[in-house]
Chains A and B, each alone.
Chain A
Amino acid sequence: MALFRYGRDLDPSNALSRLQQDLERTFDSPFGHGLGLLGRGVHPAINIFKSGEDVVLRIEVPGFAPGDLAITSQGQTLTVSGKPAEQTQASGSYHRRERASGVFSRSIQLPREVDPARAAAQCKNGVLTLRVPAREEIKPRQISITGG
């Protein structure tokens, strides 16, 4: 049994370490000057990715069922809001209360290259994933030439 391995790419279990390093290389403004989010440090936390020409948002919304969330688009602005299902309050005292809860609304201004109206959303295990596809007109296309 080999106790040492050379070359971290040989070890697929290092995928998490690599992902964590990648996520640490962040930028203050996701899409350049004047675009982006309305505030860092507010709930819920958002990560933004590029996937080819598409923009992908991953938002941590633990405790929210898909039916508790609403996503609207207006122009280049995408708004995600959530309203937790009514919970019956048990009487007792809290020893710890760290989880964010309650109604939220967060907006993000997206670059012109993507089309928020065609965004697709999936919510799984408390993570909301939004894929905003690139506009067709920005994709490269072949212009046919007619002879005259």
Chain B
Amino acid sequence: MTNIEVAHERAKQPNPEQNTRPGRSYPPNVDILETEQGLRLWADLPGVDQSSIDVELVDDVITIRGRVSTGEYESLQPVYTEYNVGNYEARFRLSSTIDGARISAKLANGVLELELPKVAAAKPRKIEIH
């Protein structure tokens, strides 16, 4: 029984890109909110702890990588599964309105939250009329 509105069917499709690491990676489910101050991004990374996450900004592309641990699955035999597990990877191209130097990140309960402040010039500014 469920009484939740799911924004979309949890379409966990592996990332199409090929990579050299073993195992498939998945794009995390993401919310992106734009406010006057900047963007806020939340990415679901269940099973990833703080030491296994990388957020990297190269040029204008921000890359999120999270590694899941397989250790907890030793001695477990699956009998029924609704989700597969895998590492997480997602990339976002930032517009020039974001101030890359002031991006901050935090992780809590398997959710990564990024604060992407806008550069001062990009914020809407009320022009005073004298």
Contact = CB atoms under 8 A, between A and B. Distances in A.
A107 B47 CA distance: 22
B96 interface: no
A22 interface: yes
B2 to A, nearest CB: 4
A11 B4 CA distance: 42
B104 to A, nearest CB: 15
Given A23-B85, A99-B31, A100-B7, A47 B44 contact: no
A38 interface: yes
Interface size class, chain B: 35 or more
Interface in A33-83: 36-43, 45-52, 56, 60-65
B70 A106 contact: no
B100 interface: no
A43 B83 CA distance: 11
Contacts of A121: none
Nearest to A126: B110
A97 interface: yes
Contacts of B2: 39, 42-43, 104-106
Interface of B: 1-10, 21-24, 29-36, 39-40, 42, 44-49, 68, 70, 72-73, 75-87, 108-111
5 contacts: A26-B78, A43-B4, A99-B29, A100-B4, A125-B46
A138 interface: no
A19 interface: yes
B81 A98 contact: no
Given A63-B44, A126-B110, A16 B78 contact: no
Contacts of B45: 62, 125-126
A2 interface: no
A46 B46 CA distance: 12
Contacts of A15: 70
Contact of B81 (A47, A105, A125, A127): A47
